[in-house]
A and B are shown apart, each in its own frame.
Chain A
């Protein structure tokens, strides 16, 4: 495998609140390689968006971030704000869940793309940048891009707005796209359109993508590798086939077991009992322990470390070795 584009090493993100520190991401280490799609899945509050925001340095003021994040060898967490701005929107671009709040309502869509281009390269003339923004809108499938470029975000439908945001994100040919729940606000038929655009764009530009989602279906159809997060930690990392068919982590297995199947292959749903823990006051040991059917004494005393269980495959569970033989993923 080629050298990593992005290396995250022991990243911790905490929010200082009146009630204490909420540990939103704990000991996160991973790599993204050029051209690959890495999906980050987890339920709400598992820390997937916080991780992305922290490595882009877009986290709010009360956040405590430690660890090491390197993009092409450059230290993102300790570089100047000016250098960071040069990377944001240029080398690393982000696509947010809600394009209505992520776009500026008082500028036309075309103007916003022009700004994205010229802020990173002032030598591009306004006319050239406008022509490029029309081309970009065409590339992402916005019909009549010339007219649409001078329209405002509120004149776009949800799906079109998300396309416009993708156009803006790829304006400077980023090496890494971070897409945070890019289709969650959209209907399924429109979601299919937008995912197709994302894949086409990615194939064309050769950029890598970090796809943050809670939808395991979306992951199965679009990712190369997957990271499963639970209660601020990475529970399991592997290729999509390793995660979906050879999972070695009780949380991943339980999650896959709890979702209904559109082809009707599952007759019974097996819910995960209980609720996700509070990050203000997480349980001792493994955070999944109170809900885990494989938990033993050791799980309440020790935070499990990451165990390599195969090529590219890691799991955080004290009983990883036993799980291999006793269970498989049912579908």
Chain B
């Protein structure tokens, strides 16, 4: 898929066409209070999502990747207000989801749906499948007979049989349950589905089944996906554009191939170099940059650039100034004071700075 540059406001992003974005996320913040003491006084806050700007275009899959605790799941949940965002806005068309009343939010959730990671916890064990899939339709006023018919169609569509509707979740395997979760999300014909780690609980041979199914239904139902995952190979396979998160912020957003082939953020480069490849020859020839340390706690994030304590090419400015997400061309956005441009690699930069020794490179 080729990207066309579409200039928008400050958060301009290139989409997969000249369309208006379907979902515009602006300065989104989600803080969780930390309480302590007898009176449960608030003593601090975890900023799980900390000023995120992102656009989701019609019919595209936007991958959101990052390590555990980077805020990717909280981001997904706060879009549907499954967790209430602290500040910022989520524009769906011309309407701000964060300002919608309870009743209006219910209507909005017809268009915005979610598939969860854990296919064991996200289906009510006491309901038969037909009720699990049919419930959203009944809530939104679809007649019982029509709902029943549509449940059958949906089950068939996701690769199960209509008669499976009478069974209960425990009778299904993990992959089948995830199909049921997908069927439920499709029940109201939504425009956007947020997929939160939809395949990470599944075995590899089953993952591919579900990924292919998602591909098919996206084309068939004209859906936009936000695909949240930690597996960089899976995200590359499914996404049109990819956003990399680190400690609550967007580190880099770009068209899939641009992001994977010429990543500009030192974090993206080191993240990609850490992914093992199922190909011994490529593994032997790869130079692997091994980052030092762990991801810091989001309760006490580092000042300046949040990546600076682990960044092997950090400079003085990075410790004090917070980098903004800026466009470096063709919708490729990066939040780094010293991005790696025009094919520069982290290894070259390390060499230029005389810092090869500061990092362990496994070849």
In the complex, A39→B292 CA distance in Å? 26
- Bits for B214-255, please: 1 = Cβ < 8 Å to A, else 0: 000000000000000010111011000000000000000000
Name the A residues within 8 Å of B280 (CB-CB). Answer: 220-221, 240-241, 244-245
Tell me if A189 and B271 are in contact (CB < 8 A): yes
Question: Would you call A127 an interface residue if the criterion is a C-beta within 8 Å of the partner chain's C-beta atoms?
Answer: no
| Contact partner, A221, options B68, B234, B283, Cβ 8 Å | B283
Which residues of A in the span 177-209 have a Cβ within 8 Å of any Cβ on B? 187-193, 196
Tell me if A216 and B294 are in contact (CB < 8 A): no
Tell me if A260 and B211 are in contact (CB < 8 A): yes
* Chain B facing A: main interface SS: helix
Tell me if B208 and A272 are in contact (CB < 8 A): yes
| Contact partner, A262, options B207, B212, B260, Cβ 8 Å | B260
| Contact partner, B205, options A190, A240, A271, Cβ 8 Å | A271
| Contact partner, B282, options A44, A215, A255, A263, Cβ 8 Å | A263
Which residues of B in the span 265-302 have a Cβ within 8 Å of any Cβ on A? 270-272, 274-283, 288, 290-292, 294-295
Closest to B238 in A: A260
In the complex, A190→B272 CA distance in Å? 13
Tell me if B294 and A261 are in contact (CB < 8 A): no
Tell me if B277 and A261 are in contact (CB < 8 A): yes
Interface size class, chain A: 35 or more
Tell me if A220 and B237 are in contact (CB < 8 A): no
Question: Would you call A210 an interface residue if the criterion is a C-beta within 8 Å of the partner chain's C-beta atoms?
Answer: no
Question: Would you call A16 an interface residue if the criterion is a C-beta within 8 Å of the partner chain's C-beta atoms?
Answer: no
| Contact partner, A187, options B67, B236, B282, Cβ 8 Å | B67
Question: Would you call B203 an interface residue if the criterion is a C-beta within 8 Å of the partner chain's C-beta atoms?
Answer: yes
Measured between C-beta atoms, what is the minimum distance from A118 to chain B in Å?
Answer: 31
Question: Would you call A126 an interface residue if the criterion is a C-beta within 8 Å of the partner chain's C-beta atoms?
Answer: no
Tell me if A188 and B271 are in contact (CB < 8 A): yes
Interface size on B, residues (CB 8 A): 45
Question: Would you call A305 an interface residue if the criterion is a C-beta within 8 Å of the partner chain's C-beta atoms?
Answer: no
Closest to B66 in A: A187
- Bits for B185-214, please: 1 = Cβ < 8 Å to A, else 0: 000000000000000000111111101100
Given A189-B67, A331-B279: A262 and B232 within 8 A (CB)?
yes
Tell me if B291 and A193 are in contact (CB < 8 A): yes
| Contact partner, A269, options B68, B208, B279, B292, Cβ 8 Å | B208
Most buried by B among A191, A215, A241, A275: A275
Question: Would you call B165 an interface residue if the criterion is a C-beta within 8 Å of the partner chain's C-beta atoms?
Answer: no
| Contact partner, A275, options B206, B256, B271, Cβ 8 Å | B206
Name the A residues within 8 Å of B283 (CB-CB). Answer: 217, 220-221
| Contact partner, B288, options A192, A240, A245, Cβ 8 Å | A192
Question: Would you call B21 an interface residue if the criterion is a C-beta within 8 Å of the partner chain's C-beta atoms?
Answer: no
Name the B residues within 8 Å of A260 (CB-CB). Answer: 208, 211, 233-234, 236-237
| Contact partner, B274, options A191, A241, A261, A291, Cβ 8 Å | A191
Most buried by B among A188, A217, A264: A188
In the complex, A190→B175 CA distance in Å? 28
Question: Would you call B31 an interface residue if the criterion is a C-beta within 8 Å of the partner chain's C-beta atoms?
Answer: no
Measured between C-beta atoms, what is the minimum distance from A164 to chain B in Å?
Answer: 14
Closest to A158 in B: B294
Name the A residues within 8 Å of B173 (CB-CB). Answer: 275
Name the A residues within 8 Å of B279 (CB-CB). Answer: 220, 244, 261, 331
Measured between C-beta atoms, what is the minimum distance from B267 to chain A in Å?
Answer: 9
Given A187-B67, A220-B283, A259-B208: A266 and B278 within 8 A (CB)?
no
Which residues of A in the span 255-294 have a Cβ within 8 Å of any Cβ on B? 255-256, 258-264, 266, 269-273, 275-276, 291
Which residues of A in the span 154-192 have a Cβ within 8 Å of any Cβ on B? 157-160, 187-192
Tell me if B278 and A259 are in contact (CB < 8 A): yes
Measured between C-beta atoms, what is the minimum distance from B173 to chain A in Å?
Answer: 5
Name the A residues within 8 Å of B290 (CB-CB). Answer: 189, 192-193, 196
In the complex, A244→B261 CA distance in Å? 24
| Contact partner, B276, options A217, A245, A272, Cβ 8 Å | A217
Question: Would you call B360 an interface residue if the criterion is a C-beta within 8 Å of the partner chain's C-beta atoms?
Answer: yes
Name the B residues within 8 Å of A240 (CB-CB). Answer: 280
Tell me if A220 and B208 are in contact (CB < 8 A): no
Question: Would you call A36 an interface residue if the criterion is a C-beta within 8 Å of the partner chain's C-beta atoms?
Answer: no
Measured between C-beta atoms, what is the minimum distance from B4 to chain A in Å?
Answer: 21
Tell me if B230 and A273 are in contact (CB < 8 A): no
Which residues of A in the span 211-268 have a Cβ within 8 Å of any Cβ on B? 214-221, 240-241, 244-245, 254-256, 258-264, 266
Question: Would you call A43 an interface residue if the criterion is a C-beta within 8 Å of the partner chain's C-beta atoms?
Answer: yes
Question: Would you call B167 an interface residue if the criterion is a C-beta within 8 Å of the partner chain's C-beta atoms?
Answer: no
In the complex, A4→B144 CA distance in Å? 67
Name the B residues within 8 Å of A160 (CB-CB). Answer: 294
Name the A residues within 8 Å of B175 (CB-CB). Answer: 275
In the complex, A260→B275 CA distance in Å? 12
Contacts A192-B274, A192-B291, A261-B237 aside, 15 further interface pairs with beta carbons under 8 A come to A44-B203, A159-B294, A214-B204, A221-B277, A240-B280, A258-B205, A258-B207, A259-B204, A259-B207, A261-B233, A262-B236, A266-B237, A271-B205, A271-B211, A276-B203
- Chosen A-B contacts, 16 in total, with CB atoms closer than 8 Å, are A43-B205, A188-B232, A188-B275, A189-B270, A189-B291, A191-B276, A193-B292, A216-B204, A217-B278, A259-B207, A259-B278, A260-B211, A263-B282, A264-B261, A271-B212, A275-B176
Give 4 nearest A-B pairs by CB, closest first: A217-B276, A271-B208, A260-B237, A216-B278
